[in-house]
């Protein structure tokens, strides 16, 4: 670990100390300036430091050796965002105000379109590594995993790639998108979907599955429709369909 890497480990602590100092200043010397100071420390201080850091050590996609004797720009970027992982409510508040969270991500270098609906409880691992078109709906507890760290050829390697979401897409609740994932415009991603590294999700795939279910409905008798609906729902959730459990009346006896 380089000297710069060791220094960056202290960045989250600097945010905490500056916040405590700003609160003390507010109590000791109440004014409009000291009232705004805690918000500046929590929101603008990390992103301003990132912008300066990014001018000197630009953040790029790629694969990196974590143990290399060279400063890794991602490490500094990660430390500057760490306070928002530790205190997720700081960003959750921003998502309740229309347009504010999108503007916040743009400050970090993300490419975000207009009219995005963010549910309050989501996770973005690397804010600069997100590309999103217009009119996207982001479901509850969605996780954007822009990086992974795993052993490769005997060394710990970091893979850092952008996640791209096409305009007009719907991202189902509980889904996880890995590094390099691309969602085609207009795609309706089912809930609890796991998109693997560099996976390309086509709108046509999802539409085809829905059409197959509709065709089955048209060909099946009335008695089979409920069974097909149950199987279709299970397939969308990535689960194996099971038969309804029969209830034994004798099991209800004391």
pLDDT digits (tens, 9 = 90+) for 173-214: 999 999 999 999 999 999 999 999 999 998 866 554 545 544
- Cβ neighbours, 10 Å, residue 156: 13
Q: Which of 42-46, 51-55, 68-72, 243-247 has the lowest mean pLDDT?
A: 243-247
Residue 244 placed within a domain: no
| Band of pLDDT at residue 153, cut at 50, 70 and 90 | confident
In a domain, 248, yes or no: no
| CATH, residue 174 | 2.160.10
Pair 158, 144 in one domain:
yes
Are 55 and 150 in the same domain? yes
Residue in 80, 71, 64, 66 with CA at minimum distance from that of residue 160: 64
Q: Does 107 have pLDDT greater than 90?
A: yes
Contact 142, 165 (CB under 8 A): no
Do 219 and 152 belong to one domain?
A: no
Please, are residues 131 and 163 in contact by the beta-carbon 8 Å criterion? yes
Residues 106 and 227 in one domain: no
Q: How confident is the model at residue 1 (pLDDT cuts 50, 70, 90)?
A: confident
Please tell me whether residues 229 and 115 are part of one structural domain: no
CA 70 to chain CA centroid, Å, is 28
Mean pLDDT on 37-56: 97
Neighbours of 15 (CB within 10 A): 22
Hey, how many other C-beta atoms are within 10 angstroms of the C-beta on 42? 17
- Which of left, alpha, beta for 34 (phi over 0: left; psi -120 to 50: alpha)? alpha
Characterize 161-177 residue by residue with b for buried, 16 or more Cβ atoms within 10 angstroms of its Cβ, and e for exposed: bbbbbbbbbbbbbbbbb
Residues 155, 227, single domain; the answer is no
Residue 35 lies in a domain: yes
Q: Are residues 234 and 170 in the same domain?
A: no
> Left if phi > 0, otherwise alpha if psi is -120 to 50, otherwise beta: which for 52?
alpha
User: Residue 232, CB half-sphere, CA atoms under 13 Å: how many?
Assistant: 17
Place 67 in a pLDDT band, splitting at 50, 70 and 90.
confident
In the predicted model, what is the mean pLDDT of residues 154-181? 95
Residues 138, 17 within the same domain: yes
Alpha helices in 29-141 (DSSP H): 32-39, 45-56, 73-86, 89-95, 100-107
The partner residues of 64 in beta bridges, in order of sequence, read 158
Amino acid 155: pLDDT: 83
How many domains, in total, are found in the chain?
Answer: 2
Q: Pick the more confident residue, 136 or 151.
A: 136
Establish if 113 belongs to a structural domain: yes
Of all residues in the chain, the percent with pLDDT exceeding 90 is: 74
Q: How confident is the model at residue 101 (pLDDT cuts 50, 70, 90)?
A: very high
Query: Whole-number mean pLDDT of the chain?
Result: 86
| Separation between Cα atoms, residue 16 and residue 22, nearest integer Å | 10
Residue 59 lies in a domain: yes
110 with 38, same domain?
yes
* 247 within domain boundaries: no
Does 41 map to a domain? yes
Question: Are 193 and 225 part of one and the same domain?
Answer: no
Residue 164 forms part of a structural domain: yes
At residue 193, the 3 state secondary structure works out as: coil
Do 63 and 175 lie in a common domain? yes
**Residue 217 predicted with pLDDT over 50:** no
Domain limits for position 24: 3-201
Query: Are 129 and 211 found together in one domain?
Result: no
Q: Tell me: pLDDT of 77 over 60.
A: yes
At 244 the pLDDT is 40
Give me the pLDDT at residue 99, please: 95
């Amino acid at each position: 670990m380089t000297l710069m890497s060791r220094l960056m480990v202290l960045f989250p602590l600097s945010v905490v100390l500056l916040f405590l100092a700003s609160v003390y200043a507010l109590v000791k010397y109440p004014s409009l300036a000291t009232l705004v100071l805690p918000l500046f420390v929590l929101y603008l201080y990390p992103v301003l430091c990132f912008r300066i850091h990014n001018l000197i050590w630009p953040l790029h996609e790629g694969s990196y050796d974590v143990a290399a004797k060279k400063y890794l720009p991602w490490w500094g970027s990660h430390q500057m965002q760490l306070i928002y992982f530790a205190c997720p409510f700081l960003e959750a508040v921003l998502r309740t105000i229309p347009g504010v969270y999108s503007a916040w991500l743009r400050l970090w270098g993300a490419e975000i379109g207009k009219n995005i609906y963010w549910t309050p409880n989501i996770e973005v691992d690397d804010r600069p590594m997100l590309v999103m078109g217009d009119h996207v709906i982001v479901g509850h507890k969605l996780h954007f995993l822009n990086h992974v760290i795993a052993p490769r050829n005997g060394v710990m390697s970091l893979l850092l790639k952008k996640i791209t979401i096409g305009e007009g897409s719907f991202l189902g609740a509980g889904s996880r998108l890995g590094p390099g994932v691309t969602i085609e415009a207009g795609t309706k991603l089912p809930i609890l979907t796991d998109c693997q590294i560099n996976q390309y999700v086509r709108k046509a795939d999802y539409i085809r599955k829905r059409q197959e279910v509709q065709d089955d409905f048209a060909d099946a008798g009335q008695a089979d429709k409920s069974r097909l609906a149950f199987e279709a729902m299970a397939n969308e959730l990535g689960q194996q369909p099971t038969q309804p459990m029969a209830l034994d009346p004798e099991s209800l006896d004391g």
